Structure 1
Amino acid sequence: MRMSAEERRESVIRAAMVEFADHGYNGTSTAAIARRVGVSQPYLFRLFENKRALFEAVVRRCMEEIKQSFIEAAEGKTGEEAREAMGDAYFRLIEDRSRLLMQLQMYVSTAAAEAAGDRAVGEAVRALWTDMWDSVAVASGSTPEEITDFFAYGMLINNLVAMGFPLEHRMWQGFGWDQVKKGICTTKGT
């Protein structure tokens, strides 16, 4: 059965997320993405103007999925209960290693682009982050300080999981979150 252009575009975004997550922006070739999807490079460029446009689409998708997950988890809850539900949802999201690594690559790529004088990527990423921050604040009814703590813990979690710290390691002791105690986030495969 033949895929529509939108279905093919979706396949390209998913494949590109894995490639960019594993190899970063500069280390990923559009040829590798095209091979992963099973399309030609010229077809890939009919869907996305260039590699940068594809990277930005992947960044938008990654951030949007995280934001949506947070909003859905917080539905009907407020304050600490909402933040804990969002934390649980986040642990489930980052069990997909490519989603976790894509976030880390996004930060590195933004810094590299800005160091090279290209502020456009950073502006786009900052706008997405601001939107997610504001959405989490509204969805949870939390104060700016509580949102800061929520995202600070999230960034620490990203790093601990990316470095492969097992949940039994002392680095996790200060969290006290139920999801860590229950082992929702495993470092197997992440």
Structure 2
Amino acid sequence: MRMSARERRALVVRMAVEEFARGGFHGTSTGSIAARAGVSQPYLFRLFPSKRDVFLAAADQGTSRAVRAFREAADGVTGVEALRAGERAWRLLVDEDYAFALQGQLHAAAASDAVIHAAAARHWELLWRTVATATDLPEPVLEEFFGRMLLLSTVTALRPGAPRRTVRTATATACPPLTTPTPPTARGSRAAPVPAAAPPRPAAR
């Protein structure tokens, strides 16, 4: 059955998540994404104005996947129990999905593109607030959790051939004891840090 433009767009985004997760923004061609999706490159640019738009759509899908996984895992519980449930869900994504690999590529591309930088800041804020809302834990615990997850995803990306149990053992630790929350900042105690804007750089087609 012939696919609609909306279905083709969704397929392109799914393929783009995998391609960008492997090759990054600058290292991935729209031609490779089009080929994976079974469309021509001109048709891809009928669906998306630019390569940057494809990348941002893929990043949106990857972050949405991570947010949904954490919320579903932590549903009905709170505190450390919610954090542990969400971490188990995210560890599965690191092992089996491209959501966290794409997060790394999003951060890398943000360094040289102001539009992608702004999007990366929004994605980071959403992930932070998702965990903060689901767990209601103080900032030091959240910081340790995100540091652990970033380390896990980095080790996995740099050692793709390593046994999964080795990667988990190297980074898995028990949730830390609860500590006194840090005083609220001007933006509020739940606000994730946002880096300064990067100079704009034209996106390649």
- Coarse TM-score class (shorter-chain normalised): 0.7 to 0.9
**Could you say if the C-alpha distance between residues 22 and 157 of structure 1 is closer, same or farther in structure 2, counting changes exceeding 3 Å?**
same
CA distance 1:159–1:16, shift in 2 (3 Å): same
**How has the CA–CA distance of structure 1 residues 170 and 90 changed in structure 2, closer, same or farther, with 3 Å as cutoff?**
closer
Shift in alpha-carbon separation, 1:100–1:132, aligned structure 2, 3 A: closer
Taking the aligned partners of 2:79 and 2:69, their CA distance within structure 1 comes to 16
Aligned positions of 1:19-58 closer than 5 A: 19-58=19-58
Q: How far off is 1:95 after superposition?
A: 2.1
More helix by share: 1
2:152 maps to 1:138? no
What TM-score do the two structures reach when normalised by structure 1? 0.83
Q: In 2 relative to 1, CA 170–33 (structure 1 residues): closer, same or farther, beyond 3 Å?
A: closer
What is the CA–CA distance in structure 1 between the aligned matches of 2:18 and 2:38, rounded to whole Å? 15
1:1-190 matched pairs, under 5 angstroms:
1-96=1-96, 98-111=98-111, 113=112, 118-164=113-159, 165-166=162-163, 169=166, 172-173=169-170, 175-177=172-174
Tell me which residue corresponds to 1:184: none
| In 2: Cα distance, 1:168 partner to 1:40 partner | 41
**Shift of residue 171 of structure 1?**
8.2
- CA distance in structure 2 between the aligned counterparts of 1:17 and 1:167, rounded to whole angstroms: 22
Alpha-carbon deviations, 1:119-171, whole Å to 9, x = none?
A: 22111110111122112101111111111111111001112222334456598
Task: Tell me the residue number matched to 2:187.
Answer: none
Cα deviation for residue 58 of structure 1 reads 0.7
Which runs of 5 or more residues in structure 2 are unaligned?
176-205
The structural deviation recorded for 1:18 is 1.4
Rounded to whole Å, the distance in 2 between the matches of 1:40 and 1:138 is 43
Decide whether the 8 Å contact of 1:100 with 1:162 is kept in 2.
no
- For normalisation by structure 2, the TM-score amounts to 0.77
What RMSD, in angstroms, separates the aligned Cα atoms of the two structures?
2.1
93-102 or 68-77: which moved more? 93-102
Aligned AA (1:142)? L
Alpha carbons of structure 1 residues 170 and 75: separation in structure 2 relative to 1, 3 Å: closer
> Contact conserved, 1:110 with 1:122, CA < 8 A, in 2?
yes
**Given that residues 15 and 33 in structure 1 are in contact (C-alpha distance below 8 angstroms), is that contact kept between their aligned partners in structure 2?**
yes
Distance 1:68 1:147, change over 3 A: same
Deviations 1:92-119 (CA, angstroms, capped at 9, x unpaired): 11223533322221121112x2xxxx32
Deviations 1:43-98 (A, max 9, x none): 11111111000101111111111011111111111111101000110111122353
**Identical aligned pairs, as a percentage?**
37
Q: Which secondary structure state, in structure 2, belongs to the residue aligned with residue 95 of structure 1? A: helix
- The amino acid across from 1:172 in the alignment is T
